[in-house]
Amino acid sequence: MVKIDINQWLGCLTQNIVLRTIVGKRYEWNDKKGIQFSERIRTVTEQVGSFYLRDYVSFLRWLDWGGPEKAMQEAAKETDRILTECLGEHKLRRKAKDEQHDIMDMILTRMDKATSPDFEGFDPDTVVKATSLARDELNNHVGRNRQVEESDIKNLVYLQAIIKESMRLHPSSQLLPPRESVEDCEIGGYNIPKDTLLIANLSKIHRDPQVWPNPDEFQPERFLTSHQNVDVMGNHYELLPFGSGRRRCPGIFFGLRLVQIALATIIHRFELEKASDEPDDKSAAVGLRNSIPQFKILLKPITSAEK
Ligand code: HEM
């Protein structure tokens, strides 16, 4: 029997929000089918959500009290059916050159481009450019006459490397939320029996000297050279700031983009200086959520004379 828990419910809820966005205009507002879909999703999430207590009272799970497990399976089937239909229609429209330019069209266009040899990794020219400092990179790609825009981020490879390196050294959570082994397995040479609670320790994984030379040093360049292909998407187990697997952070694209734009804008518009010579406040280094020593910085706007 499929095991359903609060995480799957959360995952389903997130998935449904995404699906509602994808099918958006076509199904939700303009179409009778979309209204039915929305209603169905709402009923299911309310129904499933109202019984999540069972996940904390584990001996109640087998009861499937109120039927959330059955409801989840039905919702998954229905979601899949609607998406398949929606995708088929989009493909037909694309063939007939009658695209709506909604999210699904954008994803299909992106998939077409995925066949391009440049799609994976950076081309050699980009790597060379990226060895310059972050502000040089910003001046180069954005210039001084406008603000950083989302479309600039793909060109700011050094900035991306800085963010990866920051997330490696200081993941927002030192420990990932616990997992439970659903069967006997072996991890790193250790035999793990079924039903064992497993917690991934990012502060160790991200500073493993066998994977990361000079692990405690801030070296963004490693992500342009030796670790060029390591991303934060949960595919590379040596770097997991957003977790991995079906419980991976669903806000990953939003969160990452937000950090990239915020940092790029700050570096682009301000000179950064340490506010005082006082030693860093290391008190924040204690605890699970944040290991970064705190210190104050001065932001000095870059004036037009300096542009
Ligand atoms: C830079 C920003 C963020 C970081 C570093 C981050 C990191 C994480 C991590 C490490 C997890 C645990 C993943 C796992 O267990 O494998 C997580 C889970 C989660 N995150 Fe984020 N997150 C960020 C932004 C966001 C945003 C913007 C949202 C919502 C819009 C979000 C919503 C969630 C939710 C709902 C979960 C629980 C997923 C589940 O248990 O199935 N996060 N996040």
Q: Write out the binding residues for heme.
A: 249
Kindly report which listed range (102-111, 123-132, 251-260) carries the lowest average pLDDT score.
Answer: 123-132
Q: Distance between CA 235 and CA 71 in Å, rounded?
A: 31
Closest C-alpha residue for ligand 1 atom 11: 249
Per-residue tokens: 255: 């969160």
The tens digit of pLDDT for each residue in 253-278 reads 999 999 999 999 988 888 777 777 77
Per-residue pLDDT tens for 137-160?
888 888 888 999 999 999 998 899
List the domains of the chain with CATH numbers: 6-113 (no CATH), 124-267 (1.10.630.10)
User: From the CB of 7, is ligand 1 less than 6 Å away?
Assistant: yes
Distance between Cα 17 and ligand 1 center (Å): 15
| Ligand 1 lined by 178 (C-beta under 6 Å) | no
CA 249–ligand 1 middle distance (angstroms): 3
Cβ 50 under 6 angstroms from ligand 1: no
Q: What are the phi and psi torsion angles at 216 (to 5°)?
A: -90, 0
Give the pLDDT score at 245: 92
What average pLDDT score do residues 230-239 get?
96
**Which atom of ligand 1 has the smallest separation from the CA of 172?**
5
Is the beta carbon of 177 within 6 A of some atom in ligand 1? yes
Q: Is 26 in the pocket of ligand 1 (CB under 6 A)?
A: no
- Select from 150, 117, 123, 111 the least CA-distant residue to 261: 150
